[in-house]
Amino acid sequence: MKQQIEIGNKIFRYKKDALLHFKNILNSYDFGESLNSKDFNDVYELLKRHPRAKEKIGVGIKGFKIGKVQYHTKCFEFIRTDATTGYFGYVKCISGDRNAITEFSRACRKAIQEDLRNVKIEYFKKYSKKGRVKCQETGELLLYEELNVDHR
């Protein structure tokens, strides 16, 4: 049976509801924008669930803003009372640490990232017509930014 998730004074019936709540907070701000007091409280309670919460919180938290990390994605950035900063993602706070297989898969993907990028560039150079290429899966004409390279 699925357990409800309690984060601070909020109770989420399902994990997906908690994930959606914090995703909505994250996406309601622009990069570098500070969280309002209501969202601060929710995100602080979320941070307390992080597997390394004690390390992340450190001397105390005085603020949160939206940070930009790898691939220009959003995450929460915390500002401690001593002015040091750090980052964390809401998914890890709700789902916990990844298991060994997930970590291995992620490491493998990272190891071939540059090769995948080069394949994408070469494919686009070779097959593009008027700035688009035909998707091998759907047949749809795609821009470079829309093209996704995956291994099979």
pLDDT digits (tens, 9 = 90+) for 36-64: 999 999 999 999 999 999 999 999 999 99
Angle of helix 100-111 versus helix 113-127 axis, rounded to 10: 50
Percentage above 90 pLDDT, the chain: 57
Domain range for 12? 5-95
Quick one: pLDDT band at residue 6, thresholds 50, 70, 90?
very high
Quick one: pLDDT band at residue 33, thresholds 50, 70, 90?
very high
Residues 119 and 76 reside in one and the same domain:
no
Q: Is the model more confident about 3 or about 99?
A: 3
The token duo for 82 is 């001593």
In a domain, 16, yes or no: yes
Residues 44 and 72 reside in one and the same domain:
yes
Residues 51 and 123 reside in one and the same domain:
no
Q: Structurally, how many domains does the chain consist of?
A: 2
> DSSP string covering 81-130, please?
TTS-EEEE-HHHHHH-SPPHHHHHHHHHHHHTHHHHHHHHHHHHHHH-BT
Element (DSSP H or E) covering residue 26: helix 15-27
